[in-house]
C-alpha cells in the first residue's frame, strides 16, 4: 500500500485560539462537509463541548485534497482534547499524526497551552506548522507573534502562515503546507499489522467502536484482532473512516485513521494508547508510549433524591462506557445516604461528568469535596493509597502522608507578578524560575500540590490577571507533607461528608469557615448545638447553631386543633427526611448548601 | 359481623368508655361581624335579617341532629361577634342552646366586641344565665387599634367594661394583643397596666399571629411589617412577670386568671375531652369524631337541612391520636399533663418511648417532670410548638 499520498495531522492551540473554527473551514474547503450541512463548529458535537468551547471527545475526519502538485491527497485531521486533564489522550492523538498545525491567536500571542502543546508535539516527533490565526482582528500583532515564535518556541518565523479561520484567509496555504511539510505516515514497513487505539465510543446499536490509526499492515472485517495490552482477541465486524460520519470501507490500511467495530462488549477493555494487531501474525512489540491512565481526583456523588439512586447508577454506567478514564464504585455516607465514589483525570473531567449526569441523564446530584490520591504509610503496614479522608488510618499510627504535586507553567502579564507569587505561596507552591516571554509577559515554572489547585486556583489566576493569565501543568512527584484529617462535628458527632485531608497550617482557617457556614445554615435549634472542627481529638475551631428563642402558637383552641394537627403531621413527615446527627435533626439540603460552594 | 367491624366497635366502646365520665362542652359560632379586622382569620360575614333568621333556625336544627349523650357542662359563644345579634335574637339563640343542654351549664361564656355592649343585650345575657363575658379589647391605644382595623375606641372599651361589671357577671375577661406593628415594650406595658387597673378576673394576651389570607399577612409578605421573634419572646416573658406580680396566674401560654377564674371550657378542650361545635366553621370532637362545619353560612345551612354536619377535616378519633394531642396541647397548660391520669385513660400508648423523649427534653431544659406530671419549663413554654413536634409520633406509634 502506498502511503505517500496520505497525511495525518492535528491542530493544536491554546483554548479559544480558533482551532474548531479553522477545522470547520478545512472541512468546507475540501468539500468534506458542505456549507449547508456545516453547523457552526462541526467537530464539537456535544452540547457541553460547544458551550465550554473545549473538545472532550476526539473527532477524527478524513478529507480528500487535490494539491497544487497535481496529486489527490488523503488527509486525516485529528481533533485533540483541549485540556490538561486529558493530557494523555492528547498525547495519544498526537502520536497518531506526523505533523501538527500550531495555531496562535494573533491578538493574544503565545499562551501557556501553546507552549505545552508545542512541546508535546515535538516530543512525539511531529513536524510543526506554525499558523498565526485571526489576522482579521484589528488588534492582531503579527510582529509580536513572530518574535514569540522564535524566542519562546524556537520555530523560525518565516515558517509561519498567516490565516483567519473566520474570514477564510490562508486555508489553502495551510493545506499545501500539510502536504508539503508533513512527512508521509511513518513506520509503515513494520512486518506486522499495528494500529494505535486513540479513543473509543459506545453506541447502543453497534456496541463498542474503537478509534484507531493504522501504522502498518491493514485490518478488515472478519480479521481476528488482538489488543496487546491485555491480549484480548475479538473478531472485527466492520471497519471504516470518518467523513466525518462513519463510513464503512473494505479495509483500513497503513496510514489510515478510522474505526474498528468488533465483538468486544465492554469499553473498559479498550485502553487508550493500546496497540491493535492481528491474531494471525501478531506484532511482537507495541507502538511506543502506552501507559495505564489512573484517576487523580476523587469525589463522592450522591443523588439529591435518594429515590434517584438507581437512575444515577445507570447514568454512571453509561458514561463509563464512553470514558474508560472515569471510575466509580458504591459508597455510603451518614449525611448523604447511598452514592458513589468516583475517580476522574482532573477537575475539568470531574465537572464534565457531573454536568453530563445532570443534563443528559437528568439526575440531580450533590458532590462531596474533591480529594486527590494520597500515599499513606502507617506503622507496621504497607504504603496505601487513600482517595477518601474516611479511609485514612488512625492519625496516631501514621508514619507519613505523601501528596501529588503538579509542575505548572503559568503565563502572566508582568504587573501581576506580585499577586501571583502571593497566590502560589498561599497555595503552598514553590516557584522554580521565571522566564521572560516578551516585554509584557513572564512565564513562571512552579511546583504546587495538586490538592491546592482543585478548588479555585484557575479562577483566582484569571481574576488576579484580569483574564490574561493562563496555566498549563503536568503531574509531578509525590512529596511528603504535613497533612492531617480534619473532621467537622455537630454536637460532638462527626459529619463524614465534611471530613477532609488538609495541610496542618490551613486546617484552622478552613475549619473556622466551615463551622461558621454550618452554624448559619442549620436552622435554629431548641438547645445549644456546637459545631466544631477537629484534628484527632483536638478542637481547632468552633461555632454555635443559633438557639431558637420563640416558637409557640398564641391561640390554640378547639377550632385550631385540626389545623395544628395537620401542621404537626407535616413536620413529622419532614422529620423523616432529616438526617439525625448529634441528636440534631438536620434538613437534607444543609449539606448540599455547604457543598455547593 | 366480621372481625374488622368488631374491632372498630371495640375501639369506639373503649373510647366512649374513656369519655363517659369526662365533661362535655358546647361551642356555638356566631358568624357575624360589622367589618373585618386586619389580623382576623375567623369565619364571619356581614349580618342581614334573613341571614340571622336562617342562622338561628339552623342552629336549632343542628342541635337536634347532635344526639347529646350527656348534659353540657360548659357553653362558649364565639365568633364573629355574638354581641352583634339583637337582644331578641340573643334570647332566641340562648333558649335554643339551653334547651339542648340538659342542665344549666356551670360556665357560659360569650365573646363581646366592646362596641356592641349595651345594657339591653347584657340584661338578656344575664337572664339567660351567661356567667362569663370576654371583651375583645386588643389594645387601649388609638393608634394601634387603628392599625388593626378595629372598630372601637379606648373610651368605648372603658365604658363597655364598666357596663359589664355593673351587670354583675361572675367572670370577665379582656382579650389583649401584643407584638403589634409599631408597639414597643413600653407601649405594651402601658396596655397591660391599663388592663390590670380595670381588675378583670381573667386576661388573655395574644402575641400577634400572621394568619394566612389576612390583611396583615399580605403586609408581611410584602415586607411592610417584619417578624422579630426575639422581640416577641421578650414581650412574652415580660407579660408573664407583670401578670404574675399583679395576681394573675398563668394557666396556659396566653391565658391568665385570678384564682377560680380559669376558663373551664378551654381547659376541657386542651385535655382532649369532648365538645360539640355548632354553627358555620365550628369545630367539635365528640362521639368518636373530630371535624368542623363548613366555613360558609349558606353552605352550612344547606348541609344542616340535609342532615349533614362536621363535614370538614373529619377524622375518626383513635386512642393514639387523642393521647398524643392530650400531650401536645396539654403541655401548653401550666399545670402540665397528669401522666398518671393519661396512662389510666390510654394504657396501650407508647409510654416507654415517651419516657425517653421526655428525659431528653428535660436534659435540654425544655420540660420539668416528676413521676406523675410533666410540664414545660419557662424556656420550653416559649418553644411549645417545637417541643410538641418532638412528641408527635412518639406515643401514637406504640
Ligand atoms: N476574529 C476572528 N475570530 C475567530 C477566528 N477564529 C475563531 N474565532 C473566534 O474565536 C473564538 C474561539 O474559536 P474556536 O474555534 O472555538 O476556538 P478553539 O477553542 O480553539 O476551538 C470564537 O468566538 C470564534 O468565533 C478568526 O479567524 N478571526
Ligand atoms: S370582630 Fe372578631 S371575629 Fe370579627 S373580624 Fe374582628 S376579630 Fe374577627
Ligand atoms: Mg474548540
Q: Write the DSSP assignment of B358-379 as a string of letters.
A: HHHHHHTTSEEE-SSEEEE-HH
Burial of A333 (0-12, 13-18, 19+ CB in 10 A): buried
- Asked whether the beta carbons of A55 and A90 are under 8 A apart, the reply is no
Q: Which residues of chain B have a pLDDT value below 50?
A: 1-11, 398
Domain end point (choices B242, B269, B296)? B269
- Asked whether the beta carbons of A271 and A229 are under 8 A apart, the reply is yes
CATH of residue B133's domain is 3.20.20.70
Q: Domain check: are B262 and B324 in the same one?
A: no
Structure-block grid coordinates of residue A41: 463548529
Q: Domain check: are B328 and B213 in the same one?
A: no
For residues A550 and B236, give the distance between their C-alpha atoms in angstroms, rounded to a whole number.
9
* Phi and psi, residue A318, nearest 5°: -70, -40
- Asked whether the beta carbons of A7 and A179 are under 8 A apart, the reply is yes
Structure-block grid coordinates of residue A358: 445532570
Q: Domain check: are B176 and B236 in the same one?
A: yes
For residues B135 and B177, give the distance between their C-alpha atoms in angstroms, rounded to a whole number.
12
Alpha carbon of A126 to those of A55, A102, A258, B139: distances in Å? Answer: 21, 11, 20, 90
Residue B67: partners with Cβ closer than 8 Å, 6 or more residues away: B287
Interface TM-score (ipTM) > 0.85? yes
Whether B249 maps to a domain, the answer reads yes
CA–centroid distance, residue A17 to ligand 3 (Å): 8
Whether B4 maps to a domain, the answer reads no
Q: Domain check: are B144 and B243 in the same one?
A: yes
Smallest Cα–Cα separation from B199: which of B225, B230, B228, B161?
A: B161
Determine contact: B382 vs chain A, CB below 8 A.
Answer: yes
Which protein residue has the closest C-alpha to ligand 2 atom 2? B80
> Which atom in ligand 2 lies closest to the alpha carbon of residue B39?
7
How do A441-449 and B373-376 pair as beta strands? unpaired
Domain with B197, as residue range(s), is 23-269
Q: Domain check: are B256 and B168 in the same one?
A: yes
Whether B177 maps to a domain, the answer reads yes
Residue B231: partners with Cβ closer than 8 Å, 6 or more residues away: B179
List of chain A residues whose C-beta atoms are within 8 Å of the C-beta of residue B388? 568
N- to C-terminal Cα separation, chain A: 58
Ion ligand 3 neighbours, Cβ < 5 Å:
A 20
Domain end point (choices B236, B251, B269)? B269
Which residue in A has a C-alpha nearest to residue B295's C-alpha?
Answer: A559
Structure-block grid coordinates of residue A437: 516571554
Whether B312 maps to a domain, the answer reads no
Domain end point (choices B230, B247, B269)? B269
Q: Domain check: are B337 and B230 in the same one?
A: no
Q: How many CB pairs under 8 A join A and B?
A: 101
Structure-block grid coordinates of residue B333: 397548660
- Asked whether the beta carbons of A389 and A499 are under 8 A apart, the reply is yes
Whether B282 maps to a domain, the answer reads no
Pocket of ligand 2 (CB under 6 A): B 33, 36-37, 40, 42, 44, 79-81, 113, 136
Determine contact: A537 vs chain B, CB below 8 A.
Answer: no
Smallest Cα–Cα separation from B333: which of B241, B251, B249?
A: B251
Whether B311 maps to a domain, the answer reads no
For residues B312 and B30, give the distance between their C-alpha atoms in angstroms, rounded to a whole number.
18
Residue B334: partners with Cβ closer than 8 Å, 6 or more residues away: B249, B250, B251, B252, B375
CA–centroid distance, residue A18 to ligand 3 (Å): 7
For residues A209 and A454, give the distance between their C-alpha atoms in angstroms, rounded to a whole number.
33
To the question of pTM greater than 0.80 for the whole model, the response is no
DSSP letter assigned to residue B334: T
User: Which ligand gives the minimal distance to the CA of A168?
Assistant: 1
pLDDT digit string, tens, across residues A104-123: 999 999 998 898 889 889 98
CATH of residue B376's domain is 1.10.10.920
N- to C-terminal Cα separation, chain B: 27
Q: Domain check: are B58 and B119 in the same one?
A: yes
Structure-block grid coordinates of residue A95: 502520536
Minimal CA separation from B353 to chain A, in Å: 16
DSSP letter assigned to residue B179: S
Q: Which residues pair with A235 in a beta bridge?
A: A224
Residues 244-273 of B with CB under 8 A from A: 253-254, 266, 269-270
- Asked whether the beta carbons of B59 and B96 are under 8 A apart, the reply is yes
Cβ within 8 Å, pair A561-B233? no
Cβ within 8 Å, pair A557-B269? yes
Please give the tally of structural domains in chain B. Answer: 2
Cβ within 8 Å, pair A550-B332? no
Q: Domain check: are B262 and B350 in the same one?
A: no
Q: Report DSSP letters for B14-53, one per residue.
A: HHHHHHHTS-EEEEEEE-B-SS--TT--S--B---HHHHH
Burial of A459 (0-12, 13-18, 19+ CB in 10 A): exposed
pLDDT digit string, tens, across residues A310-323: 999 999 988 887 77
Smallest Cα–Cα separation from A268: which of A217, A319, A305, A304?
A: A319
Which residue in A has a C-alpha nearest to residue B383's C-alpha?
Answer: A551
Whether B341 maps to a domain, the answer reads yes
Q: Which residues pair with A541 in a beta bridge?
A: A533
Q: Measured in whole angstroms, how far is the alpha carbon of residue B330 from the centre of its chain?
A: 13
For residues B161 and B135, give the distance between their C-alpha atoms in angstroms, rounded to a whole number.
8
Quick one: pLDDT at residue A271? Answer: 87
Whether B290 maps to a domain, the answer reads no
Q: Domain check: are B237 and B155 in the same one?
A: yes
CA–centroid distance, residue B15 to ligand 3 (Å): 76
Q: Domain check: are B341 and B244 in the same one?
A: no
Q: Domain check: are B99 and B194 in the same one?
A: yes
Q: How confident is chain A (597 residues) per 10-residue block, as mean pLDDT?
A: 89 91 92 63 52 59 95 92 72 92 96 87 94 97 95 94 97 98 96 94 86 96 96 96 91 96 85 94 92 87 91 91 85 89 88 88 89 95 93 91 94 94 95 88 94 85 87 90 94 89 94 93 90 93 94 93 89 79 80 73
For residues B327 and B190, give the distance between their C-alpha atoms in angstroms, rounded to a whole number.
35
3-class SS of residue A2? coil
For residues B79 and B59, give the distance between their C-alpha atoms in angstroms, rounded to a whole number.
14
Smallest Cα–Cα separation from A342: which of A387, A276, A282?
A: A387
Q: Domain check: are B265 and B349 in the same one?
A: no
CA–centroid distance, residue A555 to ligand 2 (Å): 14
Amino acid at each position: 500500500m502506498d502511503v505517500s499520498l496520505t497525511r495525518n495531522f492535528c491542530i493544536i492551540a491554546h483554548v479559544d485560539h480558533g482551532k474548531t473554527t479553522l477545522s470547520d473551514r478545512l472541512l468546507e474547503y475540501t468539500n468534506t462537509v458542505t456549507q449547508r450541512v456545516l453547523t457552526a463548529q462541526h467537530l464539537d458535537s456535544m452540547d457541553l463541548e460547544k458551550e465550554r468551547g473545549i473538545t472532550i471527545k476526539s473527532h477524527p475526519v478524513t478529507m480528500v485534497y487535490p494539491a497544487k502538485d497535481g496529486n489527490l491527497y488523503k488527509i486525516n485531521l485529528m481533533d485533540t482534547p483541549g485540556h490538561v486533564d486529558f493530557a494523555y489522550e492528547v498525547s495519544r492523538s498526537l502520536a497518531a499524526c506526523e505533523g501538527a498545525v500550531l495555531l496562535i491567536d494573533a491578538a493574544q500571542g503565545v499562551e501557556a497551552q501553546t507552549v505545552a502543546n508545542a512541546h508535546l508535539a515535538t516530543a512525539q516527533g511531529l513536524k510543526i506548522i506554525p499558523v498565526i490565526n485571526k489576522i482579521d482582528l484589528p488588534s492582531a500583532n503579527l510582529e509580536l507573534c513572530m518574535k514569540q515564535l522564535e524566542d519562546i518556541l524556537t520555530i523560525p518565523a518565516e515558517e509561519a502562515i498567516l490565516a483567519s479561520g473566520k474570514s477564510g484567509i490562508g486555508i489553502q496555504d495551510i493545506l499545501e503546507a500539510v502536504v508539503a511539510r508533513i512527512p508521509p505516515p511513518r513506520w509503515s514497513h513494520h512486518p506486522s499489522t499495528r494500529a494505535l487505539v486513540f479513543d473509543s465510543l459506545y453506541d447502543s446499536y453497534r456496541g463498542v467502536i474503537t478509534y484507531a490509526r493504522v501504522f502498518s499492515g491493514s485490518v478488515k472485517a472478519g480479521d481476528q484482532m488482538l489488543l496487546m495490552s491485555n491480549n484480548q482477541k475479538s473478531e472485527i465486524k466492520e471497519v471504516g473512516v470518518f467523513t466525518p460520519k462513519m463510513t464503512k470501507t473494505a479495509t483500513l490500511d497503513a496510514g489510515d485513521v478510522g474505526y474498528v467495530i468488533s465483538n468486544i462488549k465492554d469499553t473498559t477493555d479498550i485502553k487508550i494508547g493500546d496497540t491493535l494487531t492481528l491474531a494471525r501474525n501478531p506484532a511482537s512489540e507495541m507502538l511506543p508510549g502506552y501507559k495505564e491512565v489512573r484517576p487523580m481526583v476523587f469525589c463522592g456523588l450522591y443523588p439529591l433524591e435518594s429515590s434517584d439512586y438507581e437512575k444515577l447508577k445507570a447514568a454512571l454506567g453509561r458514561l463509563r462506557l464512553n470514558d474508560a478514564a472515569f471510575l466509580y464504585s458504591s459508597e455510603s455516607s451518614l449525611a448523604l445516604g447511598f452514592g458513589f465514589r468516583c475517580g476522574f483525570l482532573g477537575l475539568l473531567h470531574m465537572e464534565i461528568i457531573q454536568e453530563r449526569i445532570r443534563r443528559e441523564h437528568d439526575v440531580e446530584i450533590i458532590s462531596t469535596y474533591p480529594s486527590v490520591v494520597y500515599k499513606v504509610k502507617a506503622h507496621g503496614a504497607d504504603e496505601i493509597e487513600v482517595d477518601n479522608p474516611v479511609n485514612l488510618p488512625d492519625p496516631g499510627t501514621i508514619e507519613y502522608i505523601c501528596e501529588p504535586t503538579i509542575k505548572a507553567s503559568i503565563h502572566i502579564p508582568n504587573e501581576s507578578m506580585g499577586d501571583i507569587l502571593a497566590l502560589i505561596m498561599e497555595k503552598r507552591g514553590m516557584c522554580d524560575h521565571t522566564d521572560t516571554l516578551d516585554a509584557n509577559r513572564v512565564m513562571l515554572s512552579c511546583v504546587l500540590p495538586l490538592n491546592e489547585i482543585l478548588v479555585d486556583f484557575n479562577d483566582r489566576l484569571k481574576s488576579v490577571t484580569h483574564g490574561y493569565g493562563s496555566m498549563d501543568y503536568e503531574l509531578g512527584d509525590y512529596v511528603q507533607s504535613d497533612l492531617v484529617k480534619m473532621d467537622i462535628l455537630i454536637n460532638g458527632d462527626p459529619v463524614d461528608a465534611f471530613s477532609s485531608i488538609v495541610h496542618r497550617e490551613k486546617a484552622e482557617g478552613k475549619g473556622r469557615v466551615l463551622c461558621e457556614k454550618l452554624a448559619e445554615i442549620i436552622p435554629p435549634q431548641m438547645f445549644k448545638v456546637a459545631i466544631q472542627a477537629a484534628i484527632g481529638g483536638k478542637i481547632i475551631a468552633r461555632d454555635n447553631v443559633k438557639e431558637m428563642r420563640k416558637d409557640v402558637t398564641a391561640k390554640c383552641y378547639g377550632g385550631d386543633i385540626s389545623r395544628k394537627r395537620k401542621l404537626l403531621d407535616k413536620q413529622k413527615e419532614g422529620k423523616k427526611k432529616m438526617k439525625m446527627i448529634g441528636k440534631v435533626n438536620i434538613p437534607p439540603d444543609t449539606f448540599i448548601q455547604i457543598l455547593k460552594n | 359481623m366480621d372481625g374488622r367491624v368488631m374491632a372498630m366497635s371495640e375501639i369506639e366502646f373503649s373510647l366512649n368508655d374513656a369519655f363517659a365520665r369526662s365533661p362535655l362542652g358546647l361551642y356555638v359560632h356566631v358568624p357575624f361581624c360589622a367589618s373585618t379586622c386586619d389580623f382576623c382569620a375567623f369565619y364571619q360575614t356581614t349580618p342581614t335579617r334573613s341571614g340571622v333568621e336562617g342562622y338561628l333556625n339552623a342552629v336549632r336544627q343542628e342541635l337536634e341532629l347532635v344526639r347529646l349523650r350527656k348534659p353540657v357542662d360548659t357553653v362558649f359563644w364565639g365568633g364573629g361577634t355574638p354581641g352583634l345579634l339583637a337582644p331578641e335574637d340573643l334570647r332566641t339563640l340562648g333558649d335554643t342552646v339551653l334547651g339542648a343542654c340538659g342542665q344549666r351549664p356551670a360556665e357560659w361564656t360569650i365573646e363581646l366586641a366592646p362596641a356592641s355592649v349595651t345594657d339591653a343585650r347584657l340584661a338578656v345575657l344575664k337572664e339567660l344565665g351567661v356567667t362569663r363575658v370576654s371583651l375583645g379589647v386588643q389594645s387601649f391605644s388609638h393608634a394601634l387599634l387603628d392599625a388593626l382595623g378595629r372598630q372601637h375606641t379606648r373610651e368605648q372599651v372603658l365604658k363597655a367594661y364598666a357596663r359589664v361589671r355593673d351587670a354583675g357577671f361572675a367572670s370577665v375577661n379582656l382579650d389583649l394583643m401584643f407584638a403589634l406593628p409599631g408597639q414597643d415594650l413600653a407601649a405594651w406595658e402601658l396596655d397591660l397596666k391599663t388592663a390590670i387597673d380595670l381588675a378583670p378576673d381573667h386576661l388573655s394576651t395574644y402575641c400577634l399571629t400572621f394568619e394566612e389570607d389576612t390583611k396583615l399577612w399580605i403586609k408581611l409578605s410584602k415586607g411592610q411589617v417584619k417578624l422579630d421573634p426575639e422581640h416577641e419572646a421578650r414581650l412574652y416573658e415580660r407579660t408573664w412577670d407583670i401578670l404574675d406580680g399583679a395576681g394573675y396566674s398563668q394557666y396556659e401560654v396566653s391565658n391568665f386568671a385570678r384564682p377560680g377564674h380559669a376558663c373551664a371550657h378551654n381547659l376541657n378542650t386542651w385535655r382532649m375531652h369532648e365538645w360539640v361545635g355548632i354553627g358555620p366553621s365550628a369545630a367539635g370532637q365528640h362521639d368518636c369524631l373530630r371535624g368542623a362545619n363548613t366555613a360558609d353560612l349558606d353552605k352550612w345551612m344547606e348541609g344542616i337541612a340535609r342532615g349533614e354536619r362536621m363535614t370538614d377535616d373529619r377524622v375518626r378519633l383513635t386512642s393514639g391520636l387523642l393521647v398524643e394531642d392530650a400531650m401536645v396541647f396539654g403541655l401548653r397548660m401550666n399545670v402540665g399533663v397528669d401522666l398518671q391520669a393519661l396512662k389510666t385513660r390510654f394504657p396501650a400508648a407508647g409510654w416507654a418511648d415517651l419516657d425517653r423523649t421526655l428525659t431528653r427534653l428535660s436534659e435540654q431544659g425544655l420540660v420539668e417532670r416528676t413521676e406523675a406530671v410533666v410540664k414545660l419549663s419557662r424556656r420550653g413554654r416559649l418553644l411549645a410548638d417545637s417541643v410538641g413536634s418532638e412528641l408527635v409520633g412518639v406515643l401514637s406509634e406504640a
